[in-house]
Structure 1
Amino acid sequence: MNPLLFPLKYVAKKVFGEVEIGGKAEDPFFEEVEFQKRSFWSGSTKIVKKRRDKSVPEFVPEADSKILRRVRKRAYRLDMKFHLCGVRFGWIGVIGLLPVIGDLFVLWLSLQVYREASKISGGLPPAEAARMITNICVDFGLGLVPIVGDFVSVAYKANSRNVLVLEKYLTHKYNRVRVPAPAATQRI
């Protein structure tokens, strides 16, 4: 590996965290589920993996879970709606091809996703809001570079990263609140 990439990788890790979209890391839209499948003829079983829509954790309140589902749906359309030659891209990849107007419209669409995410109860804390705005700004900046920037912007998927930021925040916020009650002990 090129030693000049280490400082860049360090800065990217500090700014964006451990989020990696498109790799083996975390998928903001789908989860892989294992189940046992029994053969009709032989009765033998085997473990099968299947992708399904990612569910919202049950401890997240209904109002916030509706917002998370809306943000996921919108981000999926913007970042991953289409599939061509093994590459997933969304409306942002198509609209971003227009020189400056497309990039401004993409910025507006990404800010709409952020605005929807900030409607959660209690609002977004400053750290998460800054991380989401940074993702949007980096995506916008990359998209301004002609041709190459549009392809890099498609690969960056800022809205999908923002869905992961929102989901991690909601999981941390409500899972921390939900502390199991101690078991009652009986004395005889």
Structure 2
Amino acid sequence: MSAHDHLRRVERVERIARTMDRAFRVPLTGIRIGWDSIIGLVPGIGDTLALAPAIWIVNEARDMGAPKPLLAQTAGNIGVDWVIGLLPLIGDILDVGYKSNLRNAALLRAWVEERHRVPGDGTARPADYGEAMAL
């Protein structure tokens, strides 16, 4: 799969993550919530239903060839989000701040960008002349 294809898939993952974690702004505040937080207000069932897009994100990462440690980290983020969401009221408040889908999208983007990085396309670090003078 080409870098262009991977980046296109990452952009789709990011769109879903934004929809789930920060689609709406709470009036008169800077707080952003998404469908995950809204659906999560339904005790038990809501948080479980919100797992579907989160699992889709992990599946996209797996399909793109993400390494097992990255998949484990994304699954861990989902697990934390799900467990937090199960706590009545307090869990709903904490769930607004955790945003596991955005975390997982960022992890996936970082991995894809690193995987498709072309040697020499970054900025060179200046030489450390202080170290050379010490010799």
TM-score of Structure 1 vs Structure 2, range by shorter chain? 0.7 to 0.9
Number of matched pairs: 117
Higher strand proportion (structure 1 or 2): 1
> Partner residue of 1:110?
54
User: What percent of counterpart residues are identical?
Assistant: 32
Q: Scaled by the length of structure 1, what TM-score is found?
A: 0.60
Structure 1 position 168, deviation (Å): 1.1
> Partner residue of 2:119?
179
Structure 1 unmatched runs, 5+: 1-59, 181-188
Greater relative CO, 1 or 2 (CA 8 Å, sep 6+): 2
What is the rounded CA distance, in whole Å, between the counterparts of 2:94 and 2:54 in structure 1? 16
Retained in 2: the 8 A contact 1:67–1:117? Answer: no
Which of the pair has more CA radius of gyration?
1
> Partner residue of 1:147?
89
Q: Which amino acid aligns with 1:174?
A: H
Retained in 1: the 8 A contact 2:37–2:95? Answer: yes
2:40 is the counterpart of 1:96:
yes
RMSD of aligned Cα (Å): 1.2
Q: Which amino acid aligns with 1:65?
A: L
SS of 2:43's partner is coil
Structure 1 position 129, deviation (Å): 0.4
Q: Scaled by the length of structure 2, what TM-score is found?
A: 0.82
2:103 is the counterpart of 1:161:
yes
Q: Residue deviations 1:37-64, cap 9 Å, x none?
A: xxxxxxxxxxxxxxxxxxxxxxx71110
Q: List, as ranges, runs of 4+ consecutive aligned residues in structure 1 with deviation greater than 3 Å.
A: none
Structure 1 position 117, deviation (Å): 2.8
> Partner residue of 1:138?
80
